[in-house]
């Protein structure tokens, strides 16, 4: 069996090839659903406990798509630091992800993606694959049939411009003077979501410098017309948003020619300082691979040589995103998720009946307490008077704690009987206070920032890939509401505003949109437990509509699944897709919270989880059920297939761990932890 490490302890996880070829190992369920659930929960608990790192954390692989691997090779080519072993290992992984039609997709079972295919193709050419090789010729023909490089996203064309395969003047302009825009001015850097902000600031330097390294080969085979590779695109009508921003881009191109040199140089220096100030202790930026890559390029262009401490630390951090597989292939993670995985694993194990003072739960709590962020970050630009508190997603990301992780960490810590309860209470108190302070004016919560809802960033010609703002979402808001309810703040006016927002956001069919997980099943699986935790009765019309929707979309095999295409075609794909362990668990968590334990839908869902569990206590899940950007950037969290099924089974067997407490029952002194 081919396997891959889980990114933490050296344990192995099945690859897609193994998932497709091996038989599913089933659990006998003749003794009844309850017994089957107990058996499955025991095995899942043992499996999950075996994956904990000695320091107390869990981390599964975070799988995205081959653009991460291709751009890593392009960066090494640009900096002149490529080596044969890394190139060979990356190429092995990229080739293994190519589909029969010659393309590369951005998620399992998805359609071929033009930009991903172009970047993968270029990476393989850097690795020495000949353009007339059958797999390369097939990919190139597919690219040409869909418009060639000219039809690719802006980010892909930026990478190609670095080597002269595309003209810089045919890319949208991104002036470094943007760094000077005050926070009240449209399109200032804090109008962008934190992930976009960390990418755009270094790219303003790259855009201003317009570097070109000698191309090691031509790419004529990827153009529909090699004699005219950069066709002029028509301009939209002036009265439209697209037309207005296209004309703004033309104005910025004109400004480039007359921009005062002193102003431009000063802006680039300010941007470089901004980047350096946000470098994390491990050398990365924001715990995310793309901003790290662009920051390294930008600083290199500003004169920082590769031996400078900032550059050495940044380059070293990139190696931590690499997952080496047993077959010698090397996959690049876009990000790493230890805090998220650890709090979810803690919740799963506690809900499955592991004693609250179990040594491994206490060790997990100790590690999470050590990860608390106690200094201001970029969020304080909008909330300057708010004391810090909370948790980030990654190992090192003190500049960008996130609201979702903070809520789930608080819920996880409350499940542990810690040897220092005062320390635990104070940490949770700081997190609750910070989360309450990060509430947006509509009563809901985004992931990283407050009221990050400007309509302008997404209109920029530069921003043609994924979300660049961070508006409130139902799933994040639900997790905060659930945490506040557990902390005795269910009747706090701020919590009630969040509840009212959630009720107003329910779709006509009874579901909720899922921003950070796929999709309506994730949203519904997050919101229903939050609403019932906050005191809404199971008979509430919103809860009944959600139950009815989940029952309608349950698959014939008893599981639930939803394809990522529901983000593009809601009517066709909402709640529809092959059954997966994580999505089945989300549906069960909602139904159980709604009082449906004895329903036929829950029985069939629990049976599906028991029947599809592997002998070692794990589940297989090649499908992507997480999102970075809905549709545009999809994620397969390798631990989702484990933590959420165990949580659902635990709640089926033992109920909600906080159900015995009144919604306003836990004292917290109004979240005044210090």
H or E segment and range at residue 634? strand 633-637
Any idea which residue has 């670095």 for tokens? 162
Q: Is the separation of the CB atoms in 448 and 402 below 8 Å?
A: yes
| 3-state secondary structure labels for all residues of 200-251 | HHHHHHHHHHCCCCCCCCCCHHHCCCCCCCCCCCCCCCCCCHHHHHHHHHHH
How far is Cα 585 from Cα 561, in angstroms, rounded to an integer? 10
H or E segment and range at residue 637? strand 633-637
228: Cβ contacts below 8 Å, ≥ 6 apart: none
How far is Cα 20 from Cα 218, in angstroms, rounded to an integer? 38
Structure tokens at 104: 């590369």
- Of 146, 152, 145, which is closest to residue 120 (Cα–Cα)? 152
- The length of the chain is 674
Q: Is the separation of the CB atoms in 275 and 295 below 8 Å?
A: yes
Q: Is the separation of the CB atoms in 35 and 641 below 8 Å?
A: no
Q: Where does residue 296 rank: exposed (0-12), middle (13-18), buried (19+ CB within 10 A)?
A: buried
3-state class of 426 per DSSP? Answer: helix
Pairs from 35-42 (Cβ < 8 Å, separation ≥ 24) = 36/606, 36/607, 36/610, 37/606, 37/609, 37/610, 37/649, 37/652, 37/653, 38/653, 39/610, 40/609, 40/610, 40/613, 40/617, 40/645, 40/649, 41/352, 41/353, 41/646, 41/649, 41/650, 41/653, 42/617
Q: Is the separation of the CB atoms in 154 and 465 below 8 Å?
A: yes
DSSP class per residue in 36-77: HHHHHHHHHHHHHHHT--TTS-----EE--THHHHHHHHHHH
Q: Tell me how crowded residue 83 is: count the other CB atoms within 10 A of its CB.
A: 8
C-alpha distances (whole Å) from 647 to each of 17, 344, 349, 493, 653 are: 28, 9, 7, 30, 10
Any idea which residue has 């950037």 for tokens? 633
Give the chain's end-to-end CA distance (angstroms, integer). Answer: 51
How far is Cα 669 from Cα 662, in angstroms, rounded to an integer? 16
Q: Is the separation of the CB atoms in 403 and 650 below 8 Å?
A: no
What is the Cβ-side half-sphere exposure of residue 321, based on CA atoms within 13 angstroms?
Answer: 30
- Please name the residue ranges forming H helices in 97-133: 114-126
Question: Which residues have a catalytic role annotated?
Answer: 404
Summary count for the chain: helices (H), strands (E):
24, 7
DSSP class per residue in 239-308: TSHHHHHHHHHHHHHHHHHH--HHHHHHHHHHHHHHHHHTB-TTS-BTTBHHHHHHHHHHHHHTT--TTS
C-alpha radius of gyration, the chain, whole number: 25
């Amino acid at each position: 069996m081919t396997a891959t490490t889980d990114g933490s302890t050296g344990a192995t996880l099945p690859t897609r090839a193994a998932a497709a070829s091996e038989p599913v190992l089933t659990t006998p369920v003749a003794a009844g659903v309850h017994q089957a659930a107990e058996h499955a929960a025991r095995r899942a608990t043992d499996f999950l406990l075996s994956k904990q790192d000695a320091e107390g954390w869990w981390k599964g692989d975070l799988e995205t798509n081959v653009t991460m691997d291709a751009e890593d090779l392009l960066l090494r080519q640009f900096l002149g630091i490529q080596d044969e072993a890394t190139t060979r290992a990356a190429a092995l992984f990229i080739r293994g992800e190519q589909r029969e039609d010659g393309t590369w997709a951005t998620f399992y079972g998805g359609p071929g993606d033009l930009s991903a295919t172009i970047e993968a193709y270029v990476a393989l050419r850097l690795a020495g694959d000949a353009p007339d090789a059958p797999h390369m010729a097939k990919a190139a023909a597919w690219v040409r049939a869909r418009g060639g490089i000219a039809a690719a996203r802006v980010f892909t064309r930026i990478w190609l411009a670095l080597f002269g395969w595309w003209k810089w003047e045919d890319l949208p302009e991104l002036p470094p003077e943007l760094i000077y825009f005050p926070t009240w001015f449209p399109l200032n850097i804090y109008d962008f979501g934190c992930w976009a902000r960390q990418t755009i600031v270094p790219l303003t330097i790259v855009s201003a410098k317009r570097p070109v390294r000698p191309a090691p080969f031509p790419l004529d085979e990827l153009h529909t017309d090699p004699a005219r590779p950069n066709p002029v695109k028509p301009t939209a009508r002036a009265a439209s948003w697209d037309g207005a921003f296209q004309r703004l881009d033309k104005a910025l191109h004109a400004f480039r020619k007359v921009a005062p040199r002193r102003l431009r140089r000063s802006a680039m220096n300010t941007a470089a300082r901004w980047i350096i100030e946000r470098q994390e202790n491990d050398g990365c930026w924001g715990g995310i691979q793309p901003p790290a890559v662009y920051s390294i390029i930008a600083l290199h262009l500003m004169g920082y040589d590769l031996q400078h401490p900032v550059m050495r630390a940044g380059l070293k951090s990139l190696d931590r995103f690499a997952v080496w597989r047993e077959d010698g292939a090397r996959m690049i993670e876009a990000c790493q998720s230890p805090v998220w995985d650890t709090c979810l694993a803690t919740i799963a194990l506690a809900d499955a009946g592991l004693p609250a003072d179990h040594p491994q739960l206490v060790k997990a709590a100790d590690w999470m307490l050590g990860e608390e962020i106690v200094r201001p970050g970029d969020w304080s630009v909008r909330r300057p008077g708010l004391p810090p508190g909370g948790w980030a997603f990654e190992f090192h990301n003190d500049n960008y704690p996130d609201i979702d992780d903070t809520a789930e960490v608080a819920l996880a810590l409350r499940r542990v009987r810690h040897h220092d309860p005062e320390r635990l209470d104070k940490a949770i108190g700081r997190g609750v206070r910070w989360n309450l302070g990060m509430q947006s004016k509509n009563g809901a919560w985004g992931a990283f920032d407050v009221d990050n809802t400007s309509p302008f960033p997404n209109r920029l010609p530069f921003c043609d890939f994924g979300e660049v703002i961070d508006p409130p979402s139902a799933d994040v808001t639900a997790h905060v509401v659930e945490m506040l309810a557990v902390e005795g703040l269910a009747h706090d006016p701020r919590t009630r505003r969040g509840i009212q927002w959630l009720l107003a956001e329910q779709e006509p069919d009874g579901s909720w949109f899922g921003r950070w997980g796929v999709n309506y099943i994730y949203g519904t699986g997050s919101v229903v437990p939050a609403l019932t935790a906050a005191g809404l009765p199971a008979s509430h019309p919103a809860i009944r509509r959600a139950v009815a929707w989940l029952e309608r979309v349950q698959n014939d095999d008893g599981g639930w699944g939803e394809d990522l295409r529901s983000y593009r075609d809601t009517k066709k794909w909402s709640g529809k897709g092959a059954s997966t362990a994580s999505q089945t668990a989300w549906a069960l968590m909602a139904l159980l919270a709604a009082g449906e334990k004895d329903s036929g839908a829950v029985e069939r869902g629990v049976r599906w989880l028991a029947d599809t569990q592997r002998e070692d206590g794990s589940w297989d899940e090649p499908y992507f059920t997480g999102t970075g950007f809905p549709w545009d950037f999809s994620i397969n969290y390798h631990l989702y297939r484990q933590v959420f099924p165990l949580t659902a089974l635990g709640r089926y067997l033992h109920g909600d761990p906080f159900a015995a407490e009144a919604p306003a029952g836990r004292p917290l002194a109004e979240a005044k932890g210090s």
